[in-house]
Amino acid sequence: MQVDIAIIGAGPSGLCLAQALSGCGLSIAVLERQPEAVLENPPFDGREIALTHLSAQRMRELGLWERILPDAISPLRDARVFNGTSLFAMNIDHSDGQKEELGYLISNAIIRKAAYDVVKTSPDITLLTGIEISGILTNKQSARISLSDGRTIEAGLLIAADSRYSETRRAMGISASTHDFGKTMMVCVMEHEVPHHQTAWEWFDYGQTLALLPMNGMSSSVVVTLRPSEIQQLLSMPDETFNRAIETRFKHRLGAMRVVSTRHAYPLVTVYAERFMGERFALAGDAAVGMHPVTAHGFNFGLRSAHTLACEIRTAHAHGADIASAALLARYEQKHRLATRPLFLATHAIAKLYGNDTPPARLLRQASLRLGNGIRPFKRAVAHMLTEATS
């Protein structure tokens, strides 16, 4: 099989990249290990994705937004950041971002379903599922992908979008800066008595980090970050015991709480690739940048990488140029590094400071929140980062 572009990984970023490339006269193949039935009906995985206004616009342009029911889109109006046991919070108001809301919240499974449905309507995209890759080789002329069943795929450009643990990235000899925080996140949906007023919480408590992502109605996506052994205890609890445990961890600020979904756990590991490109090869999505969830920019950066790379490729193809030239891929790398590196480093600094429970760090944590809450330009800058307002 011969195509212009092969994308490894049919997650949301990979599918969105394929759709962003569709319609310009290029043939695209998306390779995925999972069976197509899983892509067609993705199971709930606990993750609720916080989307900026720019990401929402990108999803509209790709045709995803119209495939998502309005009731499945929860507005993120404001945000509050707590520290320790104090009731004081740094408040990021939607008006700081000059919008009616900071962003939106949509289930990862729903985004995956919308991306799959859009790609399936595009005749220039071939989706190959349930396959295993046995070898990858690129040279100046093409990229060659060997499959375990003996088939081969030849492409003008190979793109890896196969998660932050990308096997393709490693096979291409690209190293990545990986940081394991030694913590695990548990995510689930819970109903609660006290209304959230569409306000997200990030609570850097002592010994734990809690997050609340407001969904429509009286429910929220609850995120608890602890040591793996403590998370395992939460996962194994009966529902009623679990409910009481989470109420206690939230110090009963949300009243009675009740879990209404399955519980899921993910190790807290961040990744930043040393390079985003190689010979006829590029990294996109989490394979390039796997963010810490504290700033909720993981999929937002995935969409950004898809848009940036697709624009470079479409422009080159329109002018009859090589869609995998070193100059093109270097431009993509530079643009995406400039867009992601500052926030990636800032996020690490925040995570390290607010994960440090020593007495000096506790004082600095509280002082920084109070100082930040009193500086309006700083809050506007944070709000702009969270909204990525398009106008």
What CATH number has the domain bearing residue 320?
A: 3.50.50.60
Q: Is residue 350 part of a domain?
A: yes
Task: Judge whether 212 lies within some domain.
Answer: no
∠ CA 112-51-219 to the nearest 5 degrees? Answer: 85
Average pLDDT on 151-157 reads: 97
User: Predicted confidence band at 385 (pLDDT cuts at 50, 70, 90)?
Assistant: low
In angstroms, the CA 78 to CA 200 distance is 6
Domain encompassing residue 144? 2-76+105-178+269-357
Q: What is the pLDDT of residue 346?
A: 81
Average pLDDT over residues 299-323: 96
State pLDDT tens for residues 316-357: 999 999 999 999 999 999 999 999 998 888 877 777 766 777
Tell me whether residue 44 is in a domain.
yes
- The answer to the question of residue 95 being in a domain is no
Distance in angstroms between the alpha carbons of the first and the last residue of the chain? 43
pLDDT digits (tens, 9 = 90+) for 31-72: 999 999 999 999 999 999 999 999 999 999 999 999 999 999
Residue 88: predicted pLDDT: 80
CB 280 within 8 A of CB 139: yes
Could you tell me if residue 218 is inside a domain?
A: no
| Domains contained in the chain, number | 1
**Does residue 315 lie within any of the structural domains?**
yes
Quote the mean pLDDT of the chain. Answer: 91
Give the pLDDT band of residue 91 (cuts 50, 70, 90). Answer: confident
Q: How far apart are CA 298 and CA 219, in angstroms?
A: 23
Is 69 within the bounds of a domain? Answer: yes
CA pair distance 114, 64, nearest whole angstrom: 5
Q: Is 245 a domain residue? A: no
| Helical H segments across 133-285, by residue range | 167-171, 228-236, 239-249
